[in-house]
Homo-oligomer: A and B are copies of this chain.
Amino acid sequence: MNIAFVGTGVMGHSMAGHLMAAGHELSIFTRTKSKAESLLKAGARWAETPADAADGAEMAIAIVGMPEDVEDVFLGDHGLLAAATPPPIIIDMTTSPPSLARRIAKTASQRGVSAIDAPVSGGDIGARNATLSIMVGGETPAVATALPVLELMGRTIVHQGPAGSGQHTKMVNQILIAGGMLGMCEGLRYAEKAGLDGHKVIESVGGGAAGSWSINNLGPRILERDFEPGFFIEHFLKDLSIAIREAEAMSLDLPALTMAKAFYERAVSEGLGHKGTQALQLLMESGDS
């Protein structure tokens, strides 16, 4: 299949590679051309704009950064939907606002195009190993057509509902993580103050009702004072901000999410935006009396 692919950052690069390995022909646009180099060498075509990449393609996929990037890539003057002959299916795999996903879907339908929102979880490792969880929103026929392509990039692929539902599901994912992260950091702070050996504590609690991916994977990193990013605080804050805005629009008060967002805002203002989400621990420590 001829696929336009926009955004070959850490995640997108691996994902595009899987599509090419399966025999798909890619037209690539990404902000920093050098990041696409190895894909171009492997035979992908370079495009000067998203519209150029999309023109005549059978499908377009984007995974970029911030909501304004998504808006630009899909709806901008040189965006995917501005292609002379846009592809019948366009897929946003960025984590971006559900309301934006619905707006893209509406604009797309006016051009006879089906838009799918399909944000992922699983990080760079999941992208590399094609084990991502892909949360899909969109109309059923388009999702069915996209499925074989999505299956090249992920393992758990669930159609959640109409346009925006994939993004909403990703928001739930981030809300769960936010609460868990608060509990984890507070628990490990308590353990340290109580003079416990954090590794032994995780051995006791990680397999039971208190168990979570976070405590078993990020907990040990915190204990080893490893605050390097699996997932950037900066990106997590973007997601939490989207979640809070969407919740407000639904008249939903989420106090723990609000608390987590405030912590991560402080983290960014203290220069920790490029640390991993587990660096919440550093903030909690600095707040101690």
Residues of A at the B interface (CB closer than 8 Å) are 98, 121-123, 126, 133, 135, 156, 158-161, 165, 168-169, 171-184, 186-191, 193-197, 200-201, 203-205, 207-215, 217, 231, 243, 246-247, 250-257, 259, 287-289
Contacts and interface: CB of A to CB of B under 8 A. Distances in A.
B207 A156 contact: yes
A198 to B, nearest CB: 9
Given A189-B252, A189-B254, A247-B190, A196 B176 contact: no
Nearest to A195: B161
A210 B173 contact: yes
Given A173-B204, A253-B289, A196 B168 contact: yes
B179 A186 contact: yes
Contact of A133 (B161, B174, B188, B204): B204
A133 B168 contact: no
30 contacts: A126-B208, A156-B203, A158-B204, A161-B197, A168-B190, A168-B191, A169-B191, A172-B194, A173-B187, A175-B186, A175-B190, A176-B205, A177-B183, A178-B183, A179-B179, A179-B182, A179-B184, A179-B186, A180-B212, A182-B255, A182-B256, A186-B254, A189-B254, A193-B247, A193-B250, A209-B213, A209-B214, A209-B217, A211-B212, A259-B259
A267 to B, nearest CB: 15
A158 B209 CA distance: 16
Nearest to A131: B208
Contacts of A123: 209
Contacts of A210: 121, 172-174, 176-177, 180, 213
A288 to B, nearest CB: 7
Contacts of A165: 194-196
A151 to B, nearest CB: 15
B213 A173 contact: no
A70 B179 CA distance: 32
Q: Which of A121, A190, A250 has the most CB of B within 10 A?
A: A190
A173 B214 CA distance: 13
A126 to B, nearest CB: 8
A128 B252 CA distance: 40
